[in-house]
Amino acid sequence: MIRHLISAGDLSLDEALLILDTADELDQIAERPVKKLPTLRGRTVVNLFFEDSTRTRISFEAAAKRLSADVINFSAKGSSVAKGESLKDTALTLQAMGADAVVIRHGASGAPHRLAGWVRGSVVNAGDGAHEHPTQALLDAFTMRRRLGRLEGLRVSIVGDVLHSRVARSNVLLLSTLGAEVTLVAPPTLLPVAVGSWPCSVGYDLDAALPKADVVMMLRVQQERMNAAYFPTVREYSRRYGLDASRMALLPEHGIVMHPGPMNRGVEIAAEVADSVRSTIVEQVANGVSVRMAVLYLLLGGSGAQA
Amino acid sequence: MVHAADQAARGEPRRGDREPARAVFEPEEIRRALTRIAHEILERTNGGDDVVLLGIPTRGVPLAHRLAERLEQVEGRPVPAGSLDITMFRDDLRLRPARALGHTEVPAAGVDGRIVVLVDDVLYSGRTVRAALDALGELGRPRAVQLAVLVDRGHRELPIRADYVGKNLPTSQRETVRVLLTEVDGEDAVLLSAVPLSTGPLTTGPLTTGPLTTGPLTTGQEGS
Show residues of chain B in contact with A2, CB under 8 Å. Answer: none
The mean per-residue pLDDT over the stretch B126-131 comes to 96
- The answer to whether B175 touches B148, Cβ cutoff 8 Å, is no
pLDDT given at position A223: 85
Rounded Cα gap, residues A119 and A35, in angstroms? 30
Asked, colleague to colleague, whether A8-133+285-300 and A134-280 share their fold, the answer is yes
Average pLDDT over every residue of A159-177: 96
pLDDT surpassing 90 at residue B5: no
Q: Does A301 touch chain B (CB under 8 A)?
A: yes
Residue to test with chain B: of A10, A11, A25, most B Cβ within 10 A:
A25
CATH (one of 3.30.70.100, 3.40.50.1370, 3.40.50.300, 1.20.1280.260) for A134-280:
3.40.50.1370
Of the candidates A290, A291, A271, the one whose C-alpha atom is nearest the C-alpha of residue A281 is A271
Q: How much is the average pLDDT of B83-91?
A: 94
Please give the pLDDT value at position A33: 81
pLDDT tens string B190-201? 999 887 655 444
B98/A21 CB distance under 8 A: no
Q: Which residues of A touch B104 (CB under 8 A)?
A: 25, 28
CATH of domain B24-173: 3.40.50.2020
Domain limits, chain A: 8-133+285-300, 134-280
H/E stretch holding A124 reads: strand A122-128
As a residue count, chain B comes to: 224
A138 pLDDT more than 60: yes
Tally of helices (H runs) and strands (E runs) in chain B = 5, 8
What local confidence, expressed as pLDDT, does residue A282 receive?
Answer: 94
**Closest C-alpha among B181, B221, B190 to residue B90:** B221
Q: What is the ipTM of this complex?
A: 0.83
pLDDT of residue B205: 41
The pLDDT value given to residue B48: 86
Q: Which residues pair with A155 in a beta bridge?
A: A181
CB-based contact A302 B214, cutoff 8 Å? no
CATH number 3.40.50.1370 given to A8-133+285-300: yes
Residue B8 has pLDDT above 60, yes or no: no
Give per-residue pLDDT as tens, B44-75: 998 888 999 999 999 999 999 999 999 999 99
- Name the residue with higher pLDDT: A69 or B15: A69
- What proportion of chain A, given as a percentage, has pLDDT over 70? 98
Name the residue of chain A whose CA is nearest to B96's CA.
A303
Active site residues of A: 55-56, 83, 105, 133
Q: How far apart are CA A1 and CA B211, in angstroms?
A: 6
What is the predicted pLDDT for the residue at B198? Answer: 53
Q: What mean pLDDT is reported for chain B?
A: 83
Distance CA A6, CA A104 (A): 10
Contacts of A168 (CB under 8 A, 6+ apart): A158, A162, A184, A219
